Structure 1
Amino acid sequence: ADVRGDWRCVTNVILRAFHTVRLASLPIGVRPDDPEAWSLETLNESLRQMNWVPKKHREYTKEELAKLARDMNCKPPTAKTLQVFKVKVDEGQHLPMLDTTVKSSAFVTMELNNVKRRSKIVQGSQDPLWRETFKFQMNDEDVRHSLISNAKQLFDQVCNEEQVLELEELAELLKTLKVRESAQNIMSRFDRDKTGNIDWAQFVIMFDALGFDKRDLTLTLYDSAIAGIEKEIGSAVVSVKSLKSGEMKSLTVMLKDADGETLYGHDGRATALKIRLSMHNISNAKVFDKTEKEASRIIAGSDKVLKHLEACRCVVIKL
Structure 2
Amino acid sequence: MKAIQFLGANKIGVNEIPMPEVPDGWGLIKVSHSGICGTDLSIYGGTHPRAKAPLTMGHEFSGVIAEDAIGFPKGTRVTVYPLISCMECTPCKEGNKHVCNTLGLFGIDAAGGMAEYVAIPLENIIKLSDNVSDKLGALLEPIAVTVHTLRQTGFQPGDNAIVFGCGTIGLCLALTLRLFGARDIVLAETDPARIEIAKGLGFDVINSMEIDLNEFVKERTNGDGFDRVYDCAGAAPVASCLLDVVKVRGQIVIVASYKKPTELPLFKGMAKEVSINFVRVYRQKDFEIAAEMAAKEPLYEKIITHVLPAQKAQEGFDLLFTKGTGAIKVMFTF
TM-score, normalized by length of structure 1?
Answer: 0.22
TM-score, normalized by length of structure 2?
Answer: 0.22
Which is helix-richer, 1 or 2? Answer: 1
Q: Which structure: larger Rg?
A: 1
**Higher RCO (C-alpha under 8 Å, 6+ residues apart):** 1
